[in-house]
Amino acid sequence: MSQRSEQMRGNAIAIVLLLAGGIIMVAPFVWMLSTSLKVPADQYSRTLIPPILTLDNYREIWSLIPLQTMLWNSLKIAAIATAGQLLTCSMAAFVFAVARFRGRDILFFLLLLTLMVPSQITTIPQFILFKWLGLYGTQVPMYLPSFLGGAFGTFLLRQYFKTIPIELAEAARIDGASLITIYWNIYLPLAKPALAAFGVFAFMFSWNDLFTALIYLPSDPETTTLPVGLALFQQQYGGKWTLMMAAVLISVAPIIVAFLIAQKQFIQGISMSGLK
């Protein structure tokens, strides 16, 4: 009985801690939502429930900046970049997990070492290359590097591919299937949870990428992304927090929707890929 009581006490403590952590994480979003629904005169009030609820901030933000165009640009770039990452990283992960060749483990270790290299180090060489190719000022530099793979995605998907019985690939090879056939018809359908998990990560990274957009799409509202638009908007309307919070909530809405759609697959993919 004492052991059961201790177990119940431990579960209660864990639940309280999880609830506290959840409240801490949700509090900023609740504050942003509350501020976005306030009139400008109440933007500095400490009341969580606005005395006067209004949607004028959301209407006004659409008239101040070309939000619809920037949303479309961000969505298009993030979708293409995510597709490129899913394709190339899954191909590399499949090779490292299934194919056998000399130096495979060493090559994979060298790939993981690139995670320690800050992205800022490659910014200048990459900028020179894209400028030489005549792609500066276009959206291509925002998604083209995604088709060259990545260490994080390759690692995440490889860990999941390693959980798939290798006997499936060996049986398919005996039947005459090529590696491409095994990859496309066997491993990809079985890796939907891991692909969904990595897809959410890739989409979120591309959607929030302000640094790259500031380099290649600094100020043109017709081609730039939403993070750049929000940065420019903050410079002009920094004191209008009701408008800022409305714009920020609009910008995070696609990420929340993407996570909710892939929530089940996302959690399953994270738990089975070893990323904890």
Residue 269 has pLDDT above 60, yes or no: no
Distance between CA atoms of residues 115 and 196, nearest Å: 21
List Cα–Cα distances, 86 to 92, 237, 260, in angstroms. Answer: 10, 38, 19
Query: Residue 272 has what pLDDT?
Result: 57
Query: Residue 275 has what pLDDT?
Result: 47
Domain assignment present for 61? yes
| Predicted confidence (pLDDT) per residue in 171-181, tens digit | 998 888 898 99
31 and 220 Cβ atoms separated by less than 8 Å? no
Domain assignment present for 200? yes
Domain assignment present for 13? no
Residue 225 burial (10 A CB sphere; 0-12, 13-18, 19+): buried
Query: Residue 73 has what pLDDT?
Result: 93
Number of domains in the chain: 1
- The lowest-confidence range among 49-53, 217-221, 225-229 is 217-221
Residue 206 has pLDDT above 60, yes or no: yes
181 and 155 Cβ atoms separated by less than 8 Å? no
SS3 26: helix
Mean of the pLDDT values across residues 203-207? 92
- The enclosing H or E element of 57 equals helix 56-64
Query: Residue 274 has what pLDDT?
Result: 46
Show the domain range for 45.
37-273
Domain assignment present for 2? no
Domain assignment present for 201? yes
Domain assignment present for 120? yes
Query: Residue 2 has what pLDDT?
Result: 63
CATH number for 223: 1.10.3720.10
Which distant-in-sequence residues (6+ apart) come within 8 Å of 212 by Cβ? 141, 142
Domain assignment present for 50? yes
Query: Residue 188 has what pLDDT?
Result: 92
Query: Residue 268 has what pLDDT?
Result: 64
Q: Which two tokens stand for residue 42?
A: 């109440």
Residue 105 has pLDDT above 80, yes or no: yes
- The lowest-confidence range among 164-173, 184-193, 227-236 is 227-236
Residue 273 has pLDDT above 70, yes or no: no
- Mean residue pLDDT of the chain comes to 87
Which distant-in-sequence residues (6+ apart) come within 8 Å of 68 by Cβ? 62
Q: Which two tokens stand for residue 76?
A: 């298009």
| Predicted confidence (pLDDT) per residue in 38-94, tens digit | 888 888 888 888 888 888 889 888 888 888 899 999 999 999 999 999 999 999 999
Residue 1 has pLDDT above 70, yes or no: no
Which distant-in-sequence residues (6+ apart) come within 8 Å of 178 by Cβ? none
| Predicted confidence (pLDDT) per residue in 119-171, tens digit | 888 888 999 999 999 999 899 999 999 999 899 999 999 999 998 889 989 89
Query: Residue 241 has what pLDDT?
Result: 87
Domain assignment present for 209? yes
